[in-house]
Structure formats: structure tokens, C-alpha cells
Amino acid sequence: MAPTLIIGNKNYSSWSLRPWIAMKVAGIDFDEQVVPLYEPGSREKVLKHSPTGKVPCLLDGEVTVWESLAILDYLADKHPDKHLWPPDPKARAQARAIAAEMHAGFGVLRRHCPMNVRRDPRKVRELTPEVQQDVSRIEAIWTDCRARFGQNGPFLFGAFGNADAMYAPVVSRFASYAISVGKTARAYMDAVMALPAWKDWEKAGRAESWVMAGNEV
């Protein structure tokens, strides 16, 4: 029986995108259950599965895993043949470090540029120095990974994996807010956005009719 991934709205739920795109690109079979967020009863619906009342949450038989990074680790353990973390120890250490940094940090960028795949990138949003600092750090991470470990493919460590899944929502933010980055970072973004899984998520997000208060389209 395939596991079930509980996710939020595809237009807004950056945390949900991470395990979803990792499983799609890796070819891991799963069912998805979308719970529209910020509606009456939304948290109660998620609480039936996740002890935090937040998405994403993976249900795999008797196993329940919440938190995006924990789900990605679980998937890597269960499907070692998918190489969701790089096989090379040095690359794997780097991938885990930058994934953890993404999970714990960049709050200024998250708040200033919330994920919104329907947003018109022609609507300019000025970046504060603090947001630009987050952008610069992320671009430095991408550039370093591509230079040191990306020789065998267009992603951070060559093949698409958990580290790329963790940064997928940032790719969406940079695109939808037209944030300027250098050539290496832009090429990486283009590779992620060319994935069929990315296009499927974006298409579904754009088709959603629900609009969260205060968000641009």
C-alpha cells in the first residue's frame, strides 16, 4: 500500500512542496491528500494525522512522520536506491548541512516573499537589506554546491535529491518575485523549473481558486 502525504494548498504551502517534489522526481509512489489551510477546521483536519496540526505529514502504514526534513530523511532510509542524499560522504555532509540551514533559517526572506506561485512577477517588491542578505547567502550556497559537487548534472549535487527539494520553495520565491541572481543560480533555477514534477505542482497551484488574505496574484 502506497504511503499518503498530507499537504496544504499547492499555491502557498512551501513546506508541502519539499517532500512532494522529492517523491515525484524519485519515482516513489504515494497518494496525496490536500487540506486547504487557514480555513475553519483546517487545523483540526490535519491534527487527525499530525501531532503538530501542520503540514506536511507522511502516513506510511503504522509510521507517521511530520516535518519536511524528517520526511525526507525517512524516505532516504526507506529507499536507499533512490540516492536522495549523495552517496559520497563529503557531498552528503554538505547536503545535510545546507538542508538543515534551510529548514531552520531564512525567516526574513520567508516573511517578505511568501510562496505564491500565482503571483505576477512584474509586480516589483523592493528587498530590504536583511532580505538581500538571505538571498546572497542562498546564492552562495547554490554556487558553492554546483562548483564542488554538481559535475554530473544540473542540480546542487548533480542529480536531484533532498537538498534540492529543500530549496525548491526558494526557487519558486525567486521566480515569482523576480529576484535577481547570477548566472549559476539562474541556471540552477531553470533546471528545477524544467522538471515535469515542478510543472505539475505549479499547474495545480495556479488552478486553485482559494486566495489567502493579504496575498497578491
Side chain identity at residue 56, one-letter code: P
Quote the CA–CA distance of 191 and 193 in Å, as a whole number: 6
3-state SS, residue 64:
strand
Cα–Cα distance measured from residue 137 to residue 102, given in angstroms and rounded to the nearest whole number:
11
Q: What would be the CATH architecture of the domain defined by 4-82?
A: 3-Layer(aba) Sandwich (3.40)
8 A C-beta contact, residue 129 and residue 123: no
Going by their DSSP bridges, the two strands 31-34 and 57-60 should be labelled as unpaired
Mean pLDDT, each 10-residue run in order, the chain (217 residues):
96 96 98 91 92 96 97 98 98 98 97 96 95 98 98 98 98 97 98 98 91 52
Cell of 171: 526557487
pLDDT at 215: 52
- 89-200 belongs to which CATH class? mainly alpha
pLDDT for res 37: 86
User: Could you tell me how many residues make up the chain?
Assistant: 217
How many whole angstroms separate alpha carbon 73 and alpha carbon 137?
Answer: 24
The average confidence (pLDDT) of the chain is: 95
Calpha distance 103→179 (Å, rounded): 21
List the chain domain ranges.
4-82, 89-200
**pLDDT tens digits for 104-135?**
999 999 999 999 999 999 998 999 999 999 99
What is the per-residue pLDDT for 7?
Answer: 97
